[in-house]
């Protein structure tokens, strides 16, 4: 794996992606945040050695480097999911490349179903912890040059960044919650019984991504901050027919608020 990481990293450096301060992985319907990146370099995933390809509508499949919030960032406009058939190494490599490019923090977003009765569609939830029901991406041989065999997960999401986001939301009068994110394999949306089960075991929102990327990042001691946009509700009496298109549409409605939070957070790094 390390050889592939280095090969991909050197390719991107040769394209002008040098010393980014932060990385951003953007979820369903949230890719337009990248339009705020100035002096950009844009590279299709298909042109990057060893990179997988995004196959899901709403995930454009582009790596974008430039200035955002007064800092240099590299953004993944489109992520990779287990339900697309990708294995641990394929999901892990892009996150590891971001680290080897030099990022200090990883910011992530996703669209999720809310199982907390206090949530409304369109709310933003800052993730404070997670429940990973996907295969752990660190299963298999461990390369000690990348990270330890048994990484600690006692503080997965950086408390300073979480508190910073809450202060920004208060300053800009943005409705925001804290909560636990649970990840499943997908690609099916959840049954009512599954929603009830996830709430019982401690989840506030459920989706199909993010936890593998965060586990990989923490394996390399990268600070992480993640948010969920609540695009549908898994609360008894409020469950409605859900499609990928409806999720994209609801996620898109939050872009202005998401951009404000991300811009202020990255500018403060």
Residue 82: the pLDDT is 84
Question: Around Cβ 208, how many Cβ atoms within 10 Å?
Answer: 24
Residue 28 and residue 78 in contact, taking contact as beta carbons nearer than 8 Å? no
Q: Which of 50, 237, 206, 30 lies closest to 134, judged by CA? A: 206
| Per-residue pLDDT at 236 | 73
Q: What is the CA radius of gyration of the chain?
A: 17
Mean pLDDT, to the nearest integer, of 139-144?
93
Q: What pLDDT, on the 0 to 100 scale, is given for residue 92?
A: 83
The pLDDT value given to residue 44: 93
* Residue 57, pLDDT above cutoff 70: no
**Mean pLDDT across 152-158:** 95
What are the Cα distances from residue 69, in Å, to 108, 166, 264, 269? 16, 18, 7, 9
Type and span of the H or E element at 26: strand 22-26
pLDDT confidence of residue 254:
75
- Per-residue pLDDT band at 31 (split at 50, 70, 90): low
The reported pLDDT for the residue numbered 180 is 98
Residues 72-91, mean pLDDT to the nearest whole number: 84
Q: Is the pLDDT of residue 167 over 90?
A: yes
Q: What is the pLDDT of residue 240?
A: 60
Q: Can you tell me the mean pLDDT for 90-98? A: 90
pLDDT of residue 244: 58
- Confidence label for 137 from pLDDT (cuts 50, 70 and 90): very high
- pLDDT score recorded for residue 162: 96
How would residue 76 be classed by pLDDT, with cut points 50, 70 and 90? very high
Domains of the chain with CATH codes:
2-267 (3.40.50.1580)
Of all residues in the chain, what percent carry a pLDDT higher than 70? 90
Q: How confident is the model at residue 59, as a pLDDT?
A: 46
Q: Which residue has the tokens 């971001």?
A: 98
In this structure, of 24-38, 167-181, 237-251, the range with the lowest mean pLDDT score is 237-251
């Amino acid at each position: 794996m390390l050889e592939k990481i280095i090969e991909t990293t050197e390719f991107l450096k040769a394209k002008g992606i040098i010393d980014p301060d932060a990385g951003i992985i953007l979820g369903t319907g949230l890719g337009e945040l990248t339009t705020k990146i100035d002096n950009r370099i844009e590279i299709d995933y298909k042109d990057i050695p060893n990179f997988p390809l995004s196959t899901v509508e709403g995930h454009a499949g582009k790596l974008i480097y430039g200035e955002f919030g007064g800092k240099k960032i590299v953004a993944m406009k489109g992520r990779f999911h287990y339900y697309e058939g990708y294995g641990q190494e394929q999901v892990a490599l892009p996150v590891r490349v971001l680290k080897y490019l030099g990022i200090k923090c990883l910011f992530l977003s996703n669209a999720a179903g809310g199982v907390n009765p206090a949530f409304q569609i369109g709310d933003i939830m800052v993730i404070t912890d997670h429940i990973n029901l996907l295969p752990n991406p660190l299963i298999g041989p461990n390369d000690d040059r990348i990270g330890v065999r048994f990484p600690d997960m006692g503080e997965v999401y950086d408390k300073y960044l979480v508190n910073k986001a809450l202060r920004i939301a208060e300053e800009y009068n943005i409705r925001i919650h804290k909560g636990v994110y649970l990840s499943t394999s997908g690609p099916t949306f959840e049954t009512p019984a599954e929603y009830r089960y996830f709430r019982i075991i401690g989840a506030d929102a459920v989706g199909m991504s993010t936890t593998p990327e965060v586990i990989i990042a923490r394996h390399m001691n990268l600070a992480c901050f993640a948010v969920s946009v609540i695009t549908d509700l898994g609360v008894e009496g409020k469950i409605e027919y859900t499609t990928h298109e409806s999720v994209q549409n609801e996620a898109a409605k939050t872009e202005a608020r998401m951009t404000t939070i991300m811009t202020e957070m990255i500018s403060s790094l």
